[in-house]
Amino acid sequence: MLRKAVESYVAVRRAVGFAFKSEGTQLKSFARYSDARDETYLRAPIAIEWAEQAHSRYTRARRLGIVIRFARHIHAEDPRHEIPLTVFGAEKRTRPTPYIMTENQIRQLIRVASCAGYRTLRRTTYSTLFSLLSCTGLRLAEAIGLRLKDITPDGLVIRETKFRKSRLVPLHETARVGLERYLEQRLPYAPGEDHVFVSLRRKPLLHVDVERAFRLAARAIGLQVAPGRALPTPHSLRHAFAVRALQTCPDGRDAITQHMVALSTYLGHGRVLDTYWYLEAVPELMTDIADRCEQFMRRAKP
């Protein structure tokens, strides 16, 4: 029976730092499915049959991938356990090309947000929030989750967000001044609320609030979307920050490596590979890489 083997495997993964919540739930479901068929060992056809119950191909691939990794673990101790083949293909969807806003578009967006609606705190809230997303590369959830205590002399403390990581994000002096200017209006408006950004309801901003305000501002400045391309969203401001940071990367292999690691840490990426993704996902960066390669090859010719 696989139930005990699953419990042991899940305990090992969590002991080394993985949350392993959804994976653990899926494996327990598979163990119940296998045990109901009186299987003593992990059988590939049973695993595929279980995974096939999911509605989409990507979900089936994901479910089977979880079992495959578990199978490799227990197969190392007992080869009678079978390791299924990846019959449903890749587990992850291809990441779409991000919508990269230009600096001029970002300035226009912030300007429109600062004038939208009635003369209320809403104008300052969204113009400040969009400015902060643009100059720090924060995720939207990180920005609207900021508390007053997270603003420190050294920067913004981002507490256990994605990947259960905390980090310190330094602030440029102009960003700090803009944030302080916003708080001068915000604090008297909702003195009992410790979130930095609040709505007119005197409550923390919701994702849907920000997305609606961004969509209205983007429409007002006429952001164009090509067929089949990603739509501009608040996350586009983070993408734009990452691209600007990569475009300022210094020359030299060691310098590039250090720059990428620093940027990956700053953005809160779980893997530096997620930062390198921008190099292949953004046409402007690919063009820069091609130009550099061409220059290198010309210098290398005798």
- 238 catalytic, yes or no? yes
CA gap 235, 255 in Å, rounded: 28
* Burial of 183 from C-beta contacts in 10 A (0-12 / 13-18 / 19+): middle
Instruction: Determine the residue type at 75.
Output: H
The secondary structure of 80-132, three-state, reads: CCCCCCCCCCCCCCCCCCCCCCCHHHHHHHHHHHCCCCCCCHHHHHHHHHHHH
- 139 catalytic, yes or no? yes
Task: Tell me which of 186, 238, 239, 266 is the catalytic residue.
Answer: 238
User: Is the separation of the CB atoms in 126 and 206 below 8 Å?
Assistant: no
Residue of 2, 52, 50 lying closest to 28 (CA atoms): 2
Task: Tell me which of 3, 147, 162, 164 is the catalytic residue.
Answer: 162
Task: Tell me which of 63, 186, 239, 269 is the catalytic residue.
Answer: 269
State in Å, rounded, how far the first CA of the chain is from the last one: 67
User: Is the separation of the CB atoms in 130 and 109 below 8 Å?
Assistant: yes
User: Is the separation of the CB atoms in 123 and 182 below 8 Å?
Assistant: no
Angle at the Cα of 269 from the Cα atoms of 9 and 66, rounded to 5 degrees: 25
Task: Tell me which of 14, 69, 176, 235 is the catalytic residue.
Answer: 235
Task: Tell me which of 62, 139, 186, 239 is the catalytic residue.
Answer: 139
Supply the residues annotated as catalytic: 139, 162, 235, 238, 269, 278
